[in-house]
Structure 1
Amino acid sequence: MLRVGRGMVAICRRGAKQKHWNPCMCRSPVFVSGYAPSFVATITTPAFSRQLEDKNQNPSPTNTVRQESEVSKLIETATANGSVVGALQGVQRLSEWVTLRKIDFKKDLESDEDFTKLLKILEKGIPQLSPSALLDGLKSLLNLGIDSNSYLIQSLENEVLWNVRKVSMPLLLSIVVFQAKHQHTDLQRKVLRESVETVQRRWVEVRGVKDIQVIYNHHGVFNLEFISRIDDRTIELAEEMSYTDLSRLLCTLATVKRRVTPVLRSLAFHMARQSDRLPPKQLSNVLYAMNSLSFPDPLLLEKIANDFVSQGNAIDKPTVVGGILTCMGQMRWRNTMLPNIRGQG
């Protein structure tokens, strides 16, 4: 019997003797020896199939060695001078590798002595870290898989807690957003509570559009009185906002389904006064937001229509045109110019 590797070769006895083999001539495969077949079919044994599966599922020893070498080299560099900054950078890089599934925390790091040394350096240097670095460290360590109840995580959380009253409003809101996703321990819940209360006390410091967007996107963690103040703050700052910022804020309100008429009127009024134009895609988003909020402001709709028509030749996606027409129909908005726009593509 002729063998190839670990599989067996099956041929047709009649076809093996002919120059041109016809599969119709062979009723059933017959195992023979001594022929050089013109047609072969490999029959894989169960043992060989398992070997193929293992080869596909398990990385080769070469790749494993290469990964271990890269991890060791990174940790060695991060711990070379005992610097907390270097240790933090090493942790951040390892966190990126875990996210990319380049390494596995349980397998490659958890029991590694050099990694433990890296964490010890970071732990000793916590008081030297800035508030933003503390937050970065927390993000990286929790992403790696470090337990929220570990001493290192709790030390970082405590340091963040002591700094919440001193950090800038954007960083304070970043802490709120991060802590809202990590509520596994009493300390984490305390950090979130203190951060939220600090934001609410310092509401007059909310000035940027991004800050307002963050607050609206996470309005559930704040009290109603504070959100009402943010509504007033939005109306107050709308005059200073750009067309792009106004449109993004309107879309944010639509996303969180917050329909506060005075705020919407203020945004629409200042958007309608803008002399510049938004890209077709953003205009489509604004139109969708107005439809979602059931807020068909006539002046803003006219502005959007004029912007669309002036950029009609630049619209290269039929889906944008389709979205516009759909919103027009749902809002029962009649415009004689927009139906003439044709997307290219």
Structure 2
Amino acid sequence: MTARLIQRASRLLAVPASFQPPSSSSSAVPTECMRLCQHAPPPRCRAALHTSSPRYLAESLPETSQMGPVTPQDENEFFSMLKTVPGINNLLDIPREQNVSGNKGVMIIQEIVRREPGSNEEILKDPRFQHLLDHINGQIQHVWNGRLIKFLRSLYVLGLDRNHRCFQSVEVEVQWRLRKFSIGALAQLSSFIAPLYRSRREKALLEDLVKQVELRWTEIRDTRSLVTLISRLGFMSNSLMERLEDKVLEFAGDLKPEESRKVISALSAENRRTVSVLRAISFHLIQFKGELSPSVILDLAFAFAKLNFCQPQVLQKMATDIMPKLQEISPTDIASLVRSIAYLKYSNQPLCEAIAQACLQCNQSFSPSHLCTVLLGFAHLNFIPGQSEEFFNMIHLRLGCELESLSWQMQLDVVWSLCILNHVTVPYFHKILKPQVYSQILAVSEERSAIHSVKLMHINATAQLESPDYRGPLLPEDVLQTLQSRTGPRRVSALQNAVIETLKKVFPDEGTCNYSVPTVYGWSLDGEVVLDSDLKALALKHFEDPHDSQSGGTQPLPEGARRFAIVCREFSHYTFREKVVLGRYAMNQRHLRAAGFLVVEVPYYDWQELKSDWEKQGFLKDQIKKVMAKDMAE
């Protein structure tokens, strides 16, 4: 009430003396009030009560407004004059020739940074520059908000000592004014403060900046500030990131592809798989009428792969937009694209064909590591180019002679990929199965060498089962046992556990069915059973078992008997939204058949339709009969 009374009284005291009441008789203005108004000294009262000035008004406005009509005419002319001054020495002489304010001094330093975008010891040691810094430091409280932020950025760019008096003064002034800055100014400040190596003062400034944004995040009105804040400050506070993600959902339709790329890259950097944000951005990317640039597509593909997020329509648009531009993309970017789509299990035949064609046309610009990445991606997707003969001849020509110059990990990947694609030749086995290679794998710790051990066992199995021209050497038995032990115990999934429980009911006699059987080929069987010609299960312990190095059986299988391998096919074994197995699981089928098994596959999409135990048991029995009938027909 007191504040309101003072405010009303101040308005009355500010009424000019020439004020006259209406002549109407209906007006009832008190004579005391009129007398007070007539005798009030308006100039002195207004000066005493009106405390605002253009400088305070400018500090309360956003940065864009400060550079607009609020800027005095002489400063506009001064800004135009700076553009015409030749040389940095002439810029440094301006404070000697004319009296400049703190704002004009900041404009001079900004112009110096524009012409010399980097650290410059000569400028920093120049006495004229030091004098200019001292002059600005003396008027630091009168520098506008937007220019104060740009001044701090200029000092970082110039490489001024962080312990310099002017530097510390600017940091303190910025920290004190944080609450006066607009949200756009806070975003601009975060754009160069967050990535820097931070001292104690800078950490305190950044912490206060994060707190301010957390309190004022609802003030965000433009996508540029939103993208800057989510990419620069989002990783520092989980609660702030959640609020900024809500803002992304609000502005998703206004985001440009470049801004969408920055948002998704920021999420992938923190491994934040926020599905609602990813779906919203993907929806608007699909609606985008223009073509996505290659840089945006590459970054989006990498982020989607890291977050394991697949949206078929946006992936299709990305593939369509990038195919005509593959010839303009560097080999490094092509290798990155192949790695991303392979991780997403996105088998797009036209895109893969275009990549293979680009490799053929520009094969000299592809390094062995690039070709290895492309080959590994194709193997993962089980993709064989239409021009397979030309493609693999190029691969053999480029990688065959340089294989030994690569690291042993890359050698392993190259040969393993060729085994999956069924285009491996005898010389590759000689190079990879020699003691010099597998001894390096054995020298690595068990945790790090698990995947390499499996790949080496797959290569050995391919040489043993699918290469009749190869005469050796193969991996010794003790090495196979060591590699097999390094693969570790297998984690049983829900599908595998359900299939095993059903197999126990289908084959109730003990010893007639083995479960979770490891093999010397690097594969593990969910179930193993031997059936005679009448589909009667036989005891496994009596028969020799070449795929198991620890088997004690010696008898060969009876005539007409068949060895069955029951293998579960999980969702992760197939390409995205298709019922086509990935490359390594296609090789698994070939190896088991070559080893004498009849492979009974249990796909996840068929099993999840079964409800009762009776249906599951009937499904397994039907699958075994189908495989048996197919083998007899062949």
Using the size of structure 1 for normalisation, the TM-score is 0.65
Picking from 76, 79, 95, the partner of 2:93 is 76
Label 1:103 to 1:73 Cα distance change in 2 as closer, same or farther (>3 A).
farther
Q: What letter is aligned with 1:91?
A: I
In 1: Cα distance, 2:88 partner to 2:251 partner: 49
- 1:340 equivalent to 2:353? Answer yes
Label 1:162 to 1:101 Cα distance change in 2 as closer, same or farther (>3 A).
closer
Picking from 155, 162, 169, the partner of 1:141 is 155
Shift of 1:182: 6.3
Q: Is the 8 A contact 2:227 2:259 kept in 1?
A: no
Q: What letter is aligned with 2:122?
A: D
Label 1:282 to 1:177 Cα distance change in 2 as closer, same or farther (>3 A).
closer
In 1: Cα distance, 2:231 partner to 2:286 partner: 25
Indicate the SS of the match to 2:97. coil
Label 1:151 to 1:314 Cα distance change in 2 as closer, same or farther (>3 A).
closer
Label 1:337 to 1:160 Cα distance change in 2 as closer, same or farther (>3 A).
same
Identify the residue that residue 132 of structure 2 maps to in structure 1. Answer: 118
Shift of 1:338: 1.4
Q: Is the 8 A contact 2:118 2:158 kept in 1?
A: no
In 1: Cα distance, 2:137 partner to 2:88 partner: 20
Identify the residue that residue 184 of structure 1 maps to in structure 2. Answer: 199
Identify the residue that residue 283 of structure 1 maps to in structure 2. Answer: 297
Q: Is the 8 A contact 2:162 2:168 kept in 1?
A: yes
The root-mean-square deviation of aligned C-alpha atoms, in Å, is 3.2
Q: Is the 8 A contact 2:120 2:158 kept in 1?
A: no
Q: Is the 8 A contact 1:123 1:152 kept in 2?
A: yes
In 1: Cα distance, 2:283 partner to 2:90 partner: 58
Which runs of structure 2 are paired with 1:1-345 in the superposition (5 Å)?
73-83=90-100, 84-92=102-110, 100=118, 103-104=121-122, 108-109=125-126, 112=127, 114-180=128-194, 181=196, 183-186=198-201, 188-219=202-233, 222-309=236-323, 312=324, 315-317=327-329, 319=331, 320-341=333-354, 342-343=357-358
Q: What letter is aligned with 1:164?
A: L
Q: What letter is aligned with 2:328?
A: D
Label 1:121 to 1:338 Cα distance change in 2 as closer, same or farther (>3 A).
same
Indicate the SS of the match to 1:276. coil
Label 1:323 to 1:150 Cα distance change in 2 as closer, same or farther (>3 A).
closer
Indicate the SS of the match to 1:119. helix
Q: Is the 8 A contact 2:234 2:241 kept in 1?
A: no
Shift of 1:292: 1.8
Deviation digits for residues 303-345 of structure 1 (CA, Å, limit 9, x no counterpart): 3233345xx2674336354443333322222222212324465
Identity of aligned residues (%): 22
Q: Is the 8 A contact 1:213 1:252 kept in 2?
A: no
In 2: Cα distance, 1:127 partner to 1:255 partner: 38
In 1: Cα distance, 2:150 partner to 2:264 partner: 30
Label 1:256 to 1:116 Cα distance change in 2 as closer, same or farther (>3 A).
same
Q: Is the 8 A contact 1:105 1:145 kept in 2?
A: no
Shift of 1:203: 0.8
Identify the residue that residue 59 of structure 1 maps to in structure 2. Answer: none
Give 5+ residue unaligned stretches, structure 1.
Answer: 1-69
Q: Is the 8 A contact 1:169 1:206 kept in 2?
A: yes
Give 5+ residue unaligned stretches, structure 2.
Answer: 1-86, 363-634
Shift of 1:92: 3.8
Indicate the SS of the match to 1:278. coil
Shift of 1:96: 6.3
Deviates more, 1:328-337 or 1:219-228: 219-228
Label 1:313 to 1:134 Cα distance change in 2 as closer, same or farther (>3 A).
closer
Label 1:72 to 1:272 Cα distance change in 2 as closer, same or farther (>3 A).
closer
Label 1:150 to 1:301 Cα distance change in 2 as closer, same or farther (>3 A).
closer
